[in-house]
């Protein structure tokens, strides 16, 4: 077990003697990551764009369950492989071909960093009395430092945020109910399919966007950790945290009416009071956003390293190189936040729906390959070898991914583009359903008979005994599936 708080590993396999923790850590991490202001805004969007509070809450719940289940299936890969999530995409797309979905993943991280910095910058600016722009910059610097420290601090932040933010949301919920009549807010039962499906899509996109990095935060769990335990604790944390925040956001937006849009942070803090209470709530908002923005920065760092290493073959980084990658994500996200802070709500809604379009085909291909084609058996050293069993480019998966992207456009409804099938469906956006179902079926039909590259069991190969490069140890996996594991180890 590592003794240093600062993480040494990047996209290399985590050896068994450095594994620690239990599956319950996924619950506290994802609960804390979702009890935050951006999730509140996501829930509010369903009401801002036309849904009544009653059907908005139900639609958000359905989206969180469906998207959260897909996200949790990715989380269960972490203990088995001991690798960041996007490295496993090389088994489907090729060592270099994986850069295609990775490019979109990096856009996602920068975008979420920017959107989180806008909201947290408002809170930090109020807390420090420096204003929004200095608040965004200060928040970005804190995010970069925490991401550089790495895995252990990230989980510590998750535990801290899950407790503090839960208490804050209980208090804010009680204050909202004092100001608004819950019965009146939920009395409007008029059902409109397009805005209901928008609520489902907003929540599903929120969850699916975690897919490309969720295993990054379960990869240090012992290899014997039950896949079922990892799945259920992840789903419980992300489902409860996001639905709690989004329900609060939907009810707050319904109660506030036009006062909410453009003044989201001020309105929510105003529910809690003034003076010290307001300062405490600004701190809670900043803490919640710090937790998730560190995840985004860390995930962006992993994705950049994965992209570059596909061509350079490098898996181990120096601390200086690690800081440079993280600094690049931080600078890009901060610049985007400063440029887009004045048109946040509309831009963020379209950004979420864009992410949904980009990641549903990737998620479908990755999960079908992992659970149904390879059946959890991968050659991990081959992930770094373009001449190995997975090759540089796997055109079958890349073709299915491209078709999956294109197939969604006729069903897509955003501010800047509306597909031809949206009108006949009454304005409903069902692109994410198409983006999951079609690539999953196509990849399964094309790949199920091509199994010559799949090993009999997971191959771990040789790994460095220490970051200094001294010595090597052979490892071999002796089990066929983590699903039948003996349970989480503390």
Candidate from 85-89, 271-275, 300-304, 471-475 with smallest mean pLDDT: 471-475
Query: Which residues, listed in sequence order, are joined to residue 475 by a DSSP beta bridge?
Result: 461
- In this predicted structure, what is the pLDDT of residue 67? 94
Q: What is the pLDDT of residues 163-175, one digit of tens each?
A: 999 999 999 999 9
> Helix/strand/coil (H, E, C) string of the chain?
CCCCCCCCCCCCCCCHHHCCCCCHHHHHHHHHHHCCHHHHHHHHHHHHCCCCHHHHHHHHHHHHHHHHHHHHHHHCHHHHHCCCHHHHHHHHHCCCCCHHHHHHHHHHHHHHHHHHHHHHHHHHHHHHCCCHHHHHHHHHHHHHHHHHHCHHHHHHHHHHHHHHHHHHHHHHHHHHHHHCCHHHHCCCCCCCHHHHHHHHHHHHHHHHCCCCCHHHHCCCCCCCCCHHHHHHHHHHHHHHHHHHHHHHHHHHHHHHHHHCCCCHHHHHHHHHCCCHHHHHHHHHHHHHHHHHHHHHHHHHHHHHHHHHHHHHCCCCCCHHHHHHHHHHHHHHHHHHHHHHHHHHHHHHHHHHHHHHHHHHHHHHHHHHHHHHHCCCCCEHHHHHCCCCCCCCCCHHHHHHHHHHHHHHHHHCECCCCECCCCCCCCCCCCHHHHHHHHHHHHHHHHHCCCCCCCCCCCECEEEECCCCCCCEEEECCCCCCHHHCCCCCC
Task: Report long-range pairs for 189-194 (Cβ below 8 Å, ≥24 apart).
Answer: 189/52, 189/54, 189/55, 190/52, 190/55, 191/55, 192/50, 192/51, 192/55, 193/425, 193/426, 193/428, 194/50, 194/413, 194/425, 194/426, 194/427, 194/428, 194/429
Confidence of residue 237 (pLDDT cuts 50, 70, 90): very high
Q: What is the mean pLDDT of residues 94-117?
A: 83
Say which residue, 375 or 264, is predicted with more confidence. 375
Q: Are 46 and 199 in contact (CB under 8 A)?
A: yes
Distance CA 363, CA 116 (A): 24
The per-residue pLDDT for 128 is 81
Residue 1: the pLDDT is: 44
pLDDT of residue 467: 36
Mean pLDDT within 437-461: 89
CA separation for the pair 379, 470 (Å, rounded): 23
Give percent of the chain above pLDDT 70.
86
- Cβ proximity of 212 and 112 under 8 Å: no
The CA R_g of the chain, rounded to the nearest whole Å, is 22
* Three-class HEC string of 310-353: HHHCCCCCCHHHHHHHHHHHHHHHHHHHHHHHHHHHHHHHHHHH
Let me know if 476 is exposed, middle or buried by CB neighbors in 10 A (0-12, 13-18, 19+): exposed
Across the range 81-104, mean pLDDT stands at 88
Q: Where are the domains of the chain?
A: 16-359
- Is the separation of the CB atoms in 147 and 326 below 8 Å? yes
**Crossing angle for the helix pair 431-447 and 344-368, to the nearest 10 degrees:** 20
Q: In which band, very low, low, confident or very high, does the pLDDT at 233 lie, cut at 50, 70 and 90?
A: very high
CA–CA gap between residue 46 and residue 196 (Å, rounded): 8
Q: Which CATH class is domain 16-359?
A: mainly alpha
* 64 vs 111: which has the higher pLDDT: 64
| 258-263 contacts, C-beta under 8 A, 24 or more apart | 260/44, 260/48, 261/48, 261/345, 262/345
Mean pLDDT value across residues 49-71 = 93
Q: How confident is the model at residue 390, as a pLDDT? A: 92
Q: Reply yes or no on whether the pLDDT at 3 is more than 70.
A: no
Sign of CA dihedral 11, 224, 64, 160: negative
pTM: 0.83
Q: What is the pLDDT of residue 262?
A: 66
Range with the poorest average pLDDT among 4-13, 35-44, 50-59, 478-487 = 478-487
82 pLDDT exceeds 70?
A: yes
Asked if residue 47 has pLDDT above 80, the reply is yes
pLDDT tens by residue, 312-347: 655 566 677 777 878 888 888 888 888 766 665 556
Angle subtended by helix axes 395-408 and 344-368, to nearest 10: 140
Give yes or no for residue 227 having a pLDDT over 90.
Answer: yes
Mean per-residue pLDDT of the chain: 82
Output the six-digit token pair for 130: 């420096």
pLDDT at 401: 95
Answer whether residue 421 shows pLDDT above 60.
yes
Residue 350: per-residue pLDDT? 66
- Asked which of 244-258, 416-430, 464-478 is least confident by mean pLDDT, the reply is 464-478
Note the pLDDT of residue 461.
Answer: 62
* pLDDT category of residue 85 using cuts at 50, 70 and 90: confident
Percentage of the chain modeled with pLDDT above 90: 30
Interval 287-305: pLDDT, tens: 888 888 888 888 878 887 7
pLDDT of residue 470: 35
Q: How confident is the model at residue 2 (pLDDT cuts 50, 70, 90)?
A: very low
Average pLDDT over residues 162-190: 88
In this prediction, residues 403-407 reach a mean pLDDT of 93
Q: How far apart are CA 111 and CA 116, in angstroms?
A: 8
- Report the pLDDT value the prediction gives residue 275, as an integer from 0 to 100: 80
């Amino acid at each position: 077990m590592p003794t240093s708080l600062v993480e040494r590993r990047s996209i290399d396999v985590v050896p068994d003697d450095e594994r620690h923790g239990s599956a319950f850590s996924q619950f506290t991490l994802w609960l804390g990551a979702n009890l935050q202001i951006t999730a509140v805004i996501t829930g509010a969007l369903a009401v801002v764009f036309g849904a009544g509070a009653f059907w908005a809450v139900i639609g958000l719940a359905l989206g969180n369950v469906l998207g959260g289940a897909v996200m949790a299936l990715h989380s269960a890969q972490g203990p088995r492989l001991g690798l960041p999530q996007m490295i496993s995409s090389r088994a489907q797309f090729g060592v270099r071909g994986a850069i295609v979905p990775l490019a979109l993943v990096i856009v996602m991280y920068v975008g979420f960093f920017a959107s989180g910095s806008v909201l947290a910058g408002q809170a930090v600016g109020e807390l420090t009395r420096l204003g929004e722009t200095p608040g965004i910059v200060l928040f970005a610097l804190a995010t970069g430092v925490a991401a550089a420290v790495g895995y252990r601090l990230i989980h510590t932040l998750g535990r801290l945020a899950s407790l503090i933010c839960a208490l804050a949301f209980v208090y804010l919920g009680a204050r909202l109910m004092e100001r608004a009549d819950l019965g009146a807010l939920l009395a409007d039962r008029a059902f409109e399919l397009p805005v209901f499906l928008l609520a489902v899509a907003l929540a599903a996109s929120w969850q699916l966007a975690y897919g490309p990095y969720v295993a990054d935060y379960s990869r240090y769990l012992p290899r014997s950790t039950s896949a079922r335990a990892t799945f259920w604790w992840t789903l419980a944390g992300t489902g409860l945290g996001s639905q709690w925040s989004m329900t609060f956001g939907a009810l707050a937006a319904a109660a506030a009416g036009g006062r909410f849009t453009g003044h989201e942070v001020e309105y929510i803090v105003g529910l809690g009071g003034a003076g010290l209470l307001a300062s405490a709530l600004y701190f809670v908002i900043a803490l919640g956003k710090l937790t998730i923005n560190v995840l985004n920065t860390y995930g962006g760092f992993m994705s950049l390293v994965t992209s570059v290493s596909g061509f350079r073959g490098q898996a181990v980084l120096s601390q200086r190189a690690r800081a440079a990658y993280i600094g690049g994500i931080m600078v890009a996200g901060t610049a985007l936040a400063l440029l887009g802070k004045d048109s946040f709500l509309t831009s963020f809604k379209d950004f979420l729906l864009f992410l949904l379009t980009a990641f549903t085909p990737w998620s479908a291909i990755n999960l079908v390959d992992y659970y149904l084609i390879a059946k959890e058996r991968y050659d991990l050293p081959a992930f770094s070898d373009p001449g190995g069993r997975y090759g540089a480019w796997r055109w079958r998966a890349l073709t299915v991914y491209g078709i999956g992207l294109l197939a969604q456009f006729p069903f897509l409804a955003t501010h800047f583009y509306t597909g031809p099938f949206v009108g006949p469906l009454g304005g409903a956006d069902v692109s994410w359903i198409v983006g999951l179902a079609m690539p999953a079926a196509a990849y399964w039909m094309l790949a199920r008979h091509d199994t010559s590259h799949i090993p009999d069991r997971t191959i771990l190969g040789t790994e460095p005994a220490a970051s200094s490069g001294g010595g090597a140890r052979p490892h071999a996996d002796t089990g066929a599936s983590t699903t039948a594991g003996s349970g989480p180890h503390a």
